[in-house]
A and B are shown apart, each in its own frame.
Chain A
Amino acid sequence: MNTRTSKNMYWLVKRELWEHRGGFFWAPVITGGIFLLLNIMGIITAEVLGASHGIRFGASGGLQHVIADMDAGDLSKVGFALDIAMYSAMGLLAVVLGFVVFFYCLGALYDDRRDRSILFWKSLPVSDASTVLSKVISASVLAPIIAVVVGIVVGMLQLLILAITLSFHGVNVWQLLVLAHPFRVMFNLIGYIPLYVLWALPSVGWLLLCSAWARNKPFLWAVALPVASGLVISWFGIMGLFDLPTTWFWRNIVQRGLFSTFPGTGSMFGMDNARIAHIGGNPDMDFLNLGNTYQLLASPDLWIGVLVGLGLLAGAIWFRRWRDDS
Chain B
Amino acid sequence: MSAVITASGLSKRYKSTLALDNVNFQIEPGCIVGLIGPNGAGKTTALKAILGLTDFTGQLNVLGFDPRKQRDKLMGEVCFIADVAVLPRWIRVREVVDFVANVHPRFDRAKCEAFLARTKLQPNQRVRQMSKGMIVQLHLALVMAIDARLLILDEPTLGLDILYRKQFYQNLLEDYFDENKTIIVTTHQVEEVEHILTDLMFIRDGKIVLDADMDAVGDRFVEVMVNADKADAARALKPLDERQVFGKSIFLFDGANRATLEQLGEIRRPSVSDLFVATMKGTYA
Contacts and interface: CB of A to CB of B under 8 A. Distances in A.
Nearest to B98: A11
B212 interface: no
B274 interface: no
A118 B88 CA distance: 8
Given A11-B102, A15-B99, A124-B104, A322 B55 contact: yes
The contact size tier of chain A is 20 to 34
A119 B55 CA distance: 16
B86 interface: yes
A123 B88 contact: no
A203 B49 CA distance: 33
Interface stretch (B69-77, B201-209, B219-227, B277-285): B69-77
Interface string B267-280: 00000000000000
Contacts, number: 74
Interface residues of B, number: 32
Contacts of B139: 120
Interface stretch (A109-117, A269-277, A294-302): A109-117
A119 B53 CA distance: 9
A119 B86 contact: yes
A255 B81 CA distance: 43
B90 interface: yes
Interface string B65-101: 0000001110110111111001111111001001110
Q: Interface residues of A: mostly helix, strand, loop or mixed?
A: helix
A48 B105 CA distance: 65
B103 interface: yes
A265 interface: no
A322 B67 CA distance: 12
Contacts of A124: 75, 100, 103-104
Interface in A113-140: 115-127
A148 to B, nearest CB: 26
Contact of B103 (A126, A322, A326): A126
A278 interface: no
Contact of A112 (B54, B55, B88, B98): B88
B88 A19 contact: yes
Contacts of A123: 51, 75, 78-82
Contacts of A12: 103
- Which 9 residue pairs of A and B lie closest in terms of their CB atoms, listed nearest first? A117-B88, A125-B76, A119-B82, A125-B75, A127-B72, A119-B86, A324-B54, A11-B102, A120-B86
Interface of A: 4, 7-8, 11-12, 14-15, 18-19, 112, 115-127, 321-322, 324, 326
